[in-house]
Amino acid sequence: PGWHSVAIPSRSTEQDEYREENGETDWGQTSFDDLEMERGVKPNDTTLYDWAEAVVEGDVEEGRKEIAVVLLDENGETQAEWELQEAWITAYDPPELDAGADGDVAIESITVAYDKMDRVEQ
């Protein structure tokens, strides 16, 4: 809860050109985009910063996580879920602080890479 925006990663699979030239059909490598998320800064919550620091420090135990992105309806019921395995933060962007922002919320964002993503059936 509390995420301002979440960009669910897309994936693409290319056809293997070598096999195509030889009259065979075969799929090439599948690539995944990164997960991008933004949320308002929460008082006394350094969870994202701490996770990013664990990655920078090379702490694999704390740096790699199993996470899920869950889409809820207006009643809080799960509509869709994506599980990301062995996820780690590749970029942490702290909020931009602007005294003249007229009450805008300070936003922090992360970019997350992962080894595998599954869409979970409900």
The torsion angles phi and psi of 33, rounded to 5 degrees, stand at -75, 170
Q: What's residue 121's pLDDT?
A: 82
| Residue 25, amino acid | T
114 — pLDDT class (breaks 50, 70, 90): very high
- Are the beta carbons of 99 and 72 closer than 8 angstroms? no
Both tokens of 77, joined, read 């019921």
Q: What's residue 24's pLDDT?
A: 66
Please give the C-alpha separations between residue 98 and each of 44, 91, 92, 103, in angstroms, as whole numbers: 20, 22, 19, 10
Q: How far apart are CA 61 and CA 67, in angstroms?
A: 14
Both tokens of 43, joined, read 């008082």
Q: What is the pLDDT of residues 67-99, one digit of tens each?
A: 999 999 999 899 999 999 999 999 999 988 877
More confident residue, 102 or 35: 35
DSSP state of 115: S
* Res. 113: pLDDT tops 90: yes
- Are the beta carbons of 61 and 86 closer than 8 angstroms? no
Both tokens of 55, joined, read 């990655």
Q: What is the pLDDT of residues 21-72, one digit of tens each?
A: 666 667 777 888 999 999 999 889 999 999 999 999 999 999 999 999 999 9
Q: What's residue 77's pLDDT?
A: 92
